[in-house]
Structures are given as structure tokens and as C-alpha cells.
Structure 1
Amino acid sequence: MLTPERHRLILELIKENKIVTIHQLVEATKSSESTIRRDLIQLENENKLARFHGGAQIIKSKSEETSIGERLSANFTEKKAIAKKAAAYVENGDCIFLDAGTTTYYMIEYLPKETIVVTNGLSLINECLDKGLETYTVGGRAKAKTRAFIGKGALEGINAYRFDKCFIGINGIHLKFGYTTPDPEEAMIKKAAIDLANKAYVLADWSKFNQVSFSFVHNLDSASIITDRLGNQEEIKQFSQITTIETVKS
């Protein structure tokens, strides 16, 4: 396959799937892994895609957000594995904060019955109640796209609590820029939860690494990261020098 045709196919696959792995591109183009890596470097230099370790994705605005429905279906297997591992850290009687994320949503079925949950996630409330968990919300303005309580009311509400553990979803994890998310108001809630918890966990599948969103949440060392995998041992080593990284099999 000639280079222009290969590049066209790569960009079509990324446009269709948003995220693709090098393995997928190797199979689709019948090319070697080294060839695909060179293609991705060239296309990134032309500002046509964004690379990450192990693949590439469509270029997104740093302030762009996906809906809760889109996020629930994305990387489902990885998120379930991360959620199960995260829930294993919760003990009966713990008071925890669950962020308005999709991986935190999947945690609920694995939580001990005596867990006390505080959340700013509208989508999480019914799941918690159906499981019989003692559940508190922070109040504030309800944001339609991410189904999150945000704003002054939510920030005042969350400051009424102290948590044994908090579990935060995130859009970007970067060695230089730390944890980031598109919305400044959601960033404030995430930061507050981390600051109010004895132990903080960031739950993120592989696609969130080396990404940067618009709003700073916290430094990398403020929370431990639970993820499904990283690109290579060198990358794991780099992040592990700053914070605890735990990977799970998905």
C-alpha cells in the first residue's frame, strides 16, 4: 500500500472510531508496526491526529466534552476492570466520594453494603439507592451534558464532608500538566474531593494518559492512579516516579 493511501485509511479509521491502536492500524493497512509508527509521527506533525503510546486519536479541543452516554459506552471493558479494582479498596463503613464519571458509576455494584456515598453525579444516585447504599448529594447546578452537580452550591456542599477515600474520573493525565478536565467548575469539585479525602484515587483508562484538557485539577502526586495499562515500561517508570500507578487486566 502506497503511503498516501495508507495515510488516508489511517485518518478514516481515526475519524470513524475516535481512538485506534497501532495493532488495529497494522491489521487494517497490512503494514509493519514500524511503518505505522512513522506514519503516525508524520500525521501528528501535520496536525491531523494526536498520538499516544500504543495508538492515536482524533484531535480534540481542550475544552471539548463528551456526553455521559458516549462515555458509558467507550472503553467499557477497561472501565469495568478499573472500577472493580477501585471498589476493592473500599471497606464497610467507609465514607467515600464518587465523582460524576463513568468508571465511578461502574464501581457501585462492587461496593460493600455499609458504604456511605457522597456524589455529585446525577447518574450515580439511582444506582446507589438501588443497591441500598446510604447516599448524599452535594447539590448545586445540574449540568446536562455530564450529569454532574457543579457551581457554588456544589462546592459549598462538598465542603460539608470529609472522606475516607475519593474516586475521581479524569480527562487528561500528563507528566507536566498533571490532572486536567474540560470544565473549570467540574475541576473545582474534583480538586475539593481530593483535598477532603484521606486517600484519593484517579480512575483512568489508557486513552487518558499524555492528554491535556483545559482546566487544571491537581498535581499528579495528589492521588494514586488505577488504570488498565500503559504504553510501555518506560512510561510506567516515568509516571511511577511521581505517583502510585496500579494497572489491572481488562
Structure 2
Amino acid sequence: MYQEERMQLIMDHLANAGRISIEEICQQFDVSRDTARRDLIKLEEQDLIVRTRGGALLPSPIQEFKNYKDRLVTVSEEKKKIGKLAAALVRKGDRIILDSSTTVQACAEFLHAENCTVITNSINSADLLSEKESVDIRLLGGILHKEHRYVYGASVIETLSHYYVEKAFIGVGGVTTDGLSANDEEGKVKRKMMEQAEMVIVLADHSKFGRNYFYRFADWSLVDVIITDQLPSTSMMDFFEQHQVEVLVPDSSEEQEELS
């Protein structure tokens, strides 16, 4: 089978399932892992997929939007990779919640799903999304944190209780086996956001692991997926497997060399 034929069949699979693993490509097409990776690299170069460490996701359709990048508050490359992968999980017509963390703000930057409704307490994310015609925005009202440009308080939590969404994207200050932590006012809002979602997706770069903040706002029973920039330790991966938390890591050249 020619590579072009195989790539088309991979895209057909993604159209139905939304994601594919290296192992599935090897089994379905009787090819080596190196061949499977080369197929995914070529598909990514054509902006048809988003690669993860173990395979690929089908991104939502990308549209052209001007000027919004100029207003993005600077975040690290690690956070942008996490945000791009998170945005690829949003499907057409989804109703989602975005919290006020900078990593989740990176998700807003890459969000291109059509007819998507976003509920957020982040002024920065709402500003970014205002440039996207296909996104409907619900900006929550409450007490404004002037430095970090988000709203919090009892009115935010009360308003959230009236919404039900497919996905909530939550940033954290710390990640341990005990749960997720942040400051107390942010944490109370994050907790309510998680309770209102069918699927909870936590975004956390590697620096957040092993850290505890002042307020623990959730345990792992509320989490479905965690997206991070580096594969966690073996003990942490075992913990996630026990608690049925799926781990997604953006692909990179270093990870490709490790897998070779």
C-alpha cells in the first residue's frame, strides 16, 4: 500500500473515532512504528492532525482570524503546546467552560470549533474569543481580580450552577496524588466548573506536579483527562491508570527519538 493511500485511511479512521494510536496504525496496516510515525508527521505537516505522544487527534476545522494574537498575554511554549492539544478535543457544537488560567487561555487561542459556546470567567480568554465569529461567549460576572483579569465570588458560582456543558478545561496551581490545588477564591470557582461538565480536562505543565497550593479544590474522582507537556513519573502514571485518568502529551522530536 502506498503512503498516500494509508494516510487517507488514517484520516477516515480519525473522522469516525477522533483519535488513533501508533499501535492501531501498525496493526491495521501491518507497518512498523517508524512508518506509522512518518505517516503522522506528514499529516501534521499538512495541518490535518494534531500529534500526541502515542498517536494523533483530529483537530477541529481551522479558520482564519486576524488581530487576536496581538492581544494574547504571553504564555510559555509548553503551555501553548498543551493549549493546542486541548483545543483539538473541542468538537463542532460543543458547549465548554474555560477557567482563568494562562494554560487554558492558550486553549482559547487555538480554539476553532464551529458553533461552539464558551463559558468563562477570564477577561483575556473572552477578549481572544471575541475575534472568532463561530464562537458564542458567556462571560461570567462577579468580583474582578484586576491583576490577573478574571472574575470570582459567589455570583460566579451561582451562575455556573445553571449551566451544563460537555467539557470543562481547568488549569491548576499544583498536582499531587491528593488532588488539585490553587488559591482559595480561584479554587472554589474551578470546583463548580468541574461539577457542571460531563468531561473534565485538566491542563498542567510539568512544573505543577508535586506542588501543593493553599487550597485543594478537587480530587481525582472529578477528572477524566490531564494534558501535560512531559510524561509524568512511572508512579504517577500508575496512579492515573488506577483512577482512570487519561494522560495526553503533545508530541515532540525528543519523544520521537525516545520511541525509536
Fold agreement, TM-score > 0.5: yes
1:129 Cα deviation from its structure 2 partner:
0.6
Partners of 2:148 and 2:109 in 1: CA distance:
21
Alignment of 1:46-195 (within 5 A): 73=74, 76-111=76-111, 112-132=113-133, 133-176=135-178, 178-182=179-183, 184-195=184-195
Partners of 2:235 and 2:153 in 1: CA distance:
39
Match of 2:230 in 1: 229
Match of 2:250 in 1: 248
1:231 Cα deviation from its structure 2 partner:
4.6
Partners of 1:234 and 1:179 in 2: CA distance:
17
TM-score by length of 1: 0.66
TM-score by length of 2: 0.64
The one-character-per-residue Cα deviations of 1:126-170 (angstroms, maximum 9, x if unpaired) are: 111111221011111111232211001111121121111000010
The one-character-per-residue Cα deviations of 1:10-61 (angstroms, maximum 9, x if unpaired) are: xxxxxxxxxxxxxxxxxxxxxxxxxxxxxxxxxxxxxxxxxxxxxxxxxxxx
| RMSD between superposed Cα atoms in Å | 1.6
SS at match of 2:130: helix
SS at match of 1:93: coil
Partners of 1:215 and 1:235 in 2: CA distance:
21
The one-character-per-residue Cα deviations of 1:190-240 (angstroms, maximum 9, x if unpaired) are: 001110001000100000011100111111231121111135333322333
The answer on whether the counterparts of 1:229 and 1:249 sit within 8 Å (CA) in structure 2 is: no
SS at match of 1:236: helix
SS at match of 1:130: coil
SS at match of 2:119: strand
SS at match of 1:131: coil
Q: Which amino acid aligns with 2:190?
A: K
**Structure 2 unmatched runs, 5+:** 1-72, 253-260
1:248 Cα deviation from its structure 2 partner:
1.8
Match of 2:220 in 1: 220
**Structure 1 unmatched runs, 5+:** 1-71
Partners of 2:176 and 2:232 in 1: CA distance:
14
Partners of 1:231 and 1:142 in 2: CA distance:
35
The answer on whether the counterparts of 1:125 and 1:135 sit within 8 Å (CA) in structure 2 is: yes
1:130–1:102 CA distance, 2 compared to 1 (3 A):
same
1:241 Cα deviation from its structure 2 partner:
2.2
Q: Which amino acid aligns with 2:215?
A: S
Question: Sequence identity of aligned pairs in percent?
Answer: 31
Partners of 1:156 and 1:167 in 2: CA distance:
19
Partners of 1:93 and 1:173 in 2: CA distance:
31
1:73 Cα deviation from its structure 2 partner:
4.4
Alignment of 1:5-44 (within 5 A): none
